Amino acid sequence: MLPHVHLLVMTDRPGGGCALVPALEFLGHEIKDAPLDIAAIPALSDADVVLVDATSDLREATAACRQIAVHDLRLPIVVIVPETMLAALKSSWGFDDWLLPMAGPAEVETRLRLVKESVNRQDSQRSSTMGDLSVDEDSYQVRLRGHPLDLTFKEFELIKTLAAYPNRVFTRELLLQEVWGYDYFGGSRTVDVHIRRLRAKLGPEHESLIVTVRGVGYKLVPPGSRRDAASRDELVDED
């Protein structure tokens, strides 16, 4: 059963959300109505899920979905669309799921639950925490014991890539592709230089989070999973 959620329904239909999707009346969630107008979007921040009425005015529905994305509210968006208009739906609108107006309570509840779980999962993947180290992709901020590190853009991209897959070994060539791009013509020693700078900014106590796999590349090992930290290979810089 989906916990109590705040639903905001963007619709101009008389009777509001419960008239648009009658099954909502039986689910026990808090329902608020807002006009299908992009001017109402800044007020959506208190909602858990937004339902957008696309049963009559597709242009306004499309604009609402896109503007929610522009405001970066990270709200799950469910488009309410009649079966006769399903062919008009496009992923470029930026919605997360769609729902027929006459869907039953069980289907509505299931779709709301799944879309909420999906968006929450996507958000969690945009940030990661490993012991004292946290990497937040949205704010482009890395914190160590709560204190922000002064990283360059490339240093952030490098530690973000490593932190996204703890314990995975990245070759220098793969890191070049992920961080610098396929069109970068510099040598792989660029990675070594940035790793050395990252370790210096992490400090003596935490520099061993980034482990060198000699002859291969690097990996980020979360605290507590380093079984042989003392045997860690040291990076030999060859400038």
pLDDT tens for 161-214 read 888 888 888 898 888 888 887 666 677 889 999 999 999 999 998 999 999 998
Domain that holds residue 111: 6-124
The reply to whether 116 and 38 lie within a common domain is: yes
What's the pTM? Answer: 0.53
Instruction: Indicate if the alpha-carbon torsion angle 77, 78, 80, 82 is positive or negative.
Output: positive
User: In the predicted model, is pLDDT for residue 237 greater than 60?
Assistant: no
pLDDT tens for 28-67 read 899 999 999 877 776 676 788 999 999 998 889 998 888 8
CATH of residue 134's domain is 1.10.10.10
CATH of residue 18's domain is 3.40.50.2300
For 57, phi then psi, to 5°, come to -110, 90
Q: What residue type is 201 in one-letter code?
A: K
pLDDT score recorded for residue 182? 60
Task: Show the CA angle centred on residue 130, arms to residues 127 and 133, nearest 5°.
Answer: 80
Q: Ranked by mean pLDDT, which of 136-150, 153-167, 188-202 comes out on top? A: 188-202
How many C-beta atoms lie closer than 10 Å to residue 196's C-beta?
15
The reply to whether 133 and 182 lie within a common domain is: yes
